Amino acid sequence: MYGGEWGKKNLGNQVAGDGWKYRGRGLKQVTGLSNYRSCGQALKLDLVTQPELLERDDYAARSAAWFYVSHGCLLHSGEVERVTLLINGGRNGLDKRRALFNQAKSVLV
């Protein structure tokens, strides 16, 4: 699914097998060679040669935080729809996300 021309164009994958090698891992499901490279640089990890590091709980959590900050989600943390678009690219599940956000907010704030 993440290989071929689509994977090259959208995820920076370069050779056959990159789609599987750089499949979604971590709490945010970091996917593709380009994202693994960027995330690895930010976290000071060699995710290009050791992509399985994102299967560890500590790195999985750190990769999600990296994505959230590096994609501008932190700037819009109270705007459920805006953050959904930044992360997901669409509005699917938006009503449930709003409900969960409001529930979490009522407990945490």
Per-residue pLDDT tens for 14-34?
999 999 999 999 999 999 999
pLDDT score of 1: 66
Q: Please state the domain extents for the chain.
A: 1-70, 72-109
pTM: predicted TM-score of the whole model, two decimal places? 0.82
pLDDT score of 91: 92
Name the architecture of domain 1-70: 2-Layer Sandwich (3.30)
Q: Which residues of the chain, if any, have pLDDT below 50? A: none
pLDDT score of 33: 96
Q: Sign (positive/negative) of CA torsion 29, 84, 67, 103?
A: negative
Q: Which two tokens stand for residue 14?
A: 């370069």
pLDDT score of 4: 83
